[in-house]
Structure 1
Amino acid sequence: MPSFVGSLFVFVCLAATAIAATKTPPYYIITNAETPSLNRPGLTPVGKQRAESCIPEVFSQLNIGFILSCKVDKDGEEGLKCPVAVQTATPLAQALGLNITFCGTGEESNDDCVHDKIHAFLKSSNQSALVVWDNTDMDSLLENADVNDAGIDDDTVGTHPDVILTVVSGARVGQISMNCTGIDGPAQLPSLGQ
């Protein structure tokens, strides 16, 4: 996986630079892996491959000590994909020997839950945290986690399953593809000077 290793190296260097500047470990945000069309339940075969192989490989190298995901609150908003977000997070949690912590989504949820749980963990640890969230609820997540844009255009912040957002001290400091071999195609970089 040479392309993955190179991308991960750049990604880790970016995170290390941000950590050195703030002394606060980063946390990472990803969405659920690929799901079938027409709101059918579960993950697709590609989604299962991402959850079971790629995500554990990527994040086992990033000193993760806390995993947070969503659960649908009692108001039961239809269309939320929290069960597949949890299904996406479970193989990594098992590989790292971690429990998954939950925050609710929906009308009855505590809007401060994500922010409070992430920051409580980061204040008491030198490890990083990972948030695995429903891709249809990312705007609410970013708002409730008090994540500011740090100059990243919202239109470029994807909810695609391969995107990893890096957050340090409440600021989005970067985003990168997981670059999963056999799943994610090669990125097209814009030409410079044209």
Structure 2
Amino acid sequence: MLTFASRLAAAFISLLVLGNVFVHAVPNTVFIITNAETPSLKRPGLTPIGLQRADECIPNIFKNFDIGMILSCTTDRDGEEGLSCPAAQRTAKPLADMLGLNITTCGTGEESNDDCAHDKMRTFGKNSTQNILIVWDALGMDDLLENVDVDFPDDEEDDDDDDDDSLGMHPDVILTATKSTIKFQTSMNCTGIDGPADGSF
């Protein structure tokens, strides 16, 4: 049986752990999307539907979301990972131009700094309460969520599934996270592109 002192020590340690989680959690609301639709066979650029999503739908959705930072990825130095990062940046550019923002970038792959995205978000969060939009390579979503310490509630998604369907991340999906937990998964509902869908946890 645990003594009172042991229970008190355990409670104190739990508080320290929880406190550490919340200290490291980005206080801003974070919206996460993937690159818009790309051609098959790893051809570069966006499809006509992808261009419509990037040029029309995404700016129309996020123009009133008080976005103060747009974060995207860059291709790994060896070129083996992050193949859709140019598409992700192209997806983010029209909104960035509309809002007068530069696109902040972090690398992907083994040679990149895993803490880059989280560190840049935390630095932004220390100086601004505006929201953050992440536009990332669809195939790198699992790694992204791990690196920025964002999780589905109650470990709803299994990190062991490494394919791009593990998160259900179709180009129309918006993940909304607060305090490191994904609270909502919704559809962009782009006219003529997406069917309506909405979900919360």
| TM-score for both structures, normalised by structure 2 | 0.78
Contact 1:26 1:129 in 2 (8 A): yes
Structure 1 equivalent of residue 54 of structure 2: 51
What do residues 130-169 of structure 1 show as CA deviations (whole Å, max 9, x unaligned)? Answer: 0000001101101111112223632773210000001111
Where does structure 2 lack aligned partners over 5 or more consecutive residues?
1-24, 159-165
Aligned ranges for residues 1-194 of structure 1 at < 5 Å?
Answer: 24-78=27-81, 80-151=83-154, 153-154=156-157, 157-187=167-197
Q: Give the number of the structure whose alpha-carbon radius of gyration is greater.
A: 2
Does structure 2 conserve the Cα–Cα contact (< 8 Å) formed by 1:149 and 1:171?
Answer: yes
- Quote the Cα distance in structure 2 between the aligned partners of 1:108 and 1:23: 24
| Structure number with higher relative contact order (C-alpha < 8 Å, ≥ 6 residues apart) | 1
Partner SS for 2:70: strand
Task: Check the 8 A contact 2:71/2:105 in 1, yes or no.
Answer: yes
Q: Give the AA of the match of 1:122.
A: G
Q: Is residue 28–residue 130 contact of structure 1 (8 Å, CA) maintained in 2?
A: yes
TM-score (norm 1): 0.81
Output the CA distance in 2 between the equivalents of 1:178 and 1:57: 10
Read off the aligned partner of 2:94 and give its amino acid letter: P
CA 79–105 in structure 1, closer or farther in 2 if over 3 Å, else same: closer
> RMSD across aligned C-alpha pairs, in angstroms?
2.1
> Deviation per CA, 1:5-55, whole angstroms, max 9, x where unpaired?
xxxxxxxxxxxxxxxxx9933011000000111111110000000000000
Q: 1:74 to 1:188 in 2, by over 3 A?
A: closer
What residue ranges of structure 1 are gaps of 5+ in the alignment?
A: 1-21, 190-194
Identity between Structure 1 and Structure 2 (%): 61
